[in-house]
Amino acid sequence: MADFNQLRAIEDDEDEFNEDESISERLIGLTEMFPETVRKVCSYTGSFLGTATKTGIWLVRNALWIASSSAVILVMPVVFESERAQQQEEHLQQQRQILLGPNAAVSGSSSGNLLPGMNMVPPPPMSQRP
């Protein structure tokens, strides 16, 4: 019986060191040193941050895609056309300036189409088309 007890003691000693636990289980066991609330708060905060980052990235990505593709369809052609018209006006104004002298260029063309408020006098009816 004494042998049996000795054997059991040895086995118990061995058992203390060769426990069937993996490293992660041992690390998780370490967390038991923190109180319950601290553990919970950290866990929630961590998962919340992870979800928020993923959602944030998804949102920014989609918003950027939608905004840029909508801008290509809705905004780009108008900007192109108005810039082009403005350029043509400036070109004509330059030509007039060259032909007739600097004074003739002052009257007439308004710069830009969407904000013509500055120029109250309507431009003279120059035939710009043949």
Partner 1 sequence: MGNVSAAESTKSHVDLPSPPLPLPPHAPETTRSLPKGASQLTGSTDVQVVNPGLYEDLHKQTKELFPQVFEGAKVIVAKGLSSHFQISHTIMLSTFTPSVYRFGTTYIGTKQISPTEVFPVLLGDIDSSGNMNANIIHAITDRLRGKLVAQFQPNKCLGHQLSMDYKGDDYTASLTVGNVDPIYLSGLLVGHYLQRITSSLALGAEIMYQRGQQIPGGEIAIMSLAGRWSGNKWQLSANLSPMAGNLHTCFYQRVHEYLQVGVELETSIRMAESTATVAYQIDIPKADVTFRGQLDSNWCIGAVLEKKLAPFPFTLSLSGYANHVKSQYRFGIGMIIG
Per CB under 8 A, does 113 bind partner 1?
A: yes
Per CB under 8 A, does 74 bind partner 1?
A: yes
Extract the tokens encoding 68: 């840029």
User: Of the candidates 122, 130, 126, which has an alpha carbon nearest to the alpha carbon of residue 92?
Assistant: 126
Smallest distance, partner 1 to C-beta of residue 66, A: 5
According to CB under 8 A, which one of 78, 98, 106, 126 is a site residue for partner 1? 78
Q: At what angle do helices 76-100 and 36-74 cross, to 10 degrees?
A: 50
Per CB under 8 A, does 126 bind partner 1?
A: no
- Phi and psi dihedrals of 113, rounded to 5? -105, -25
Q: What is the DSSP letter of 115?
A: -
Per-residue binding string, partner 1, 53-72, x by CB under 8 A, is: -------------x--xx-x
Per CB under 8 A, does 82 bind partner 1?
A: yes
Q: Which is nearer to partner 1, 85 or 100 (CB)?
A: 85
Give the interface segment with partner 1, choosing from 32-40, 53-61, 84-92, 97-105 (CB under 8 A): 84-92
SS3 content of the chain, % helix, strand, coil (to 5): 75, 0, 25
User: CB atoms < 10 A from the CB of 109, how many?
Assistant: 17
For partner 1, the binding residues (CB under 8 A) are 66, 69-70, 72-74, 77-78, 81-82, 84-86, 88-89, 113-114, 116, 128-130
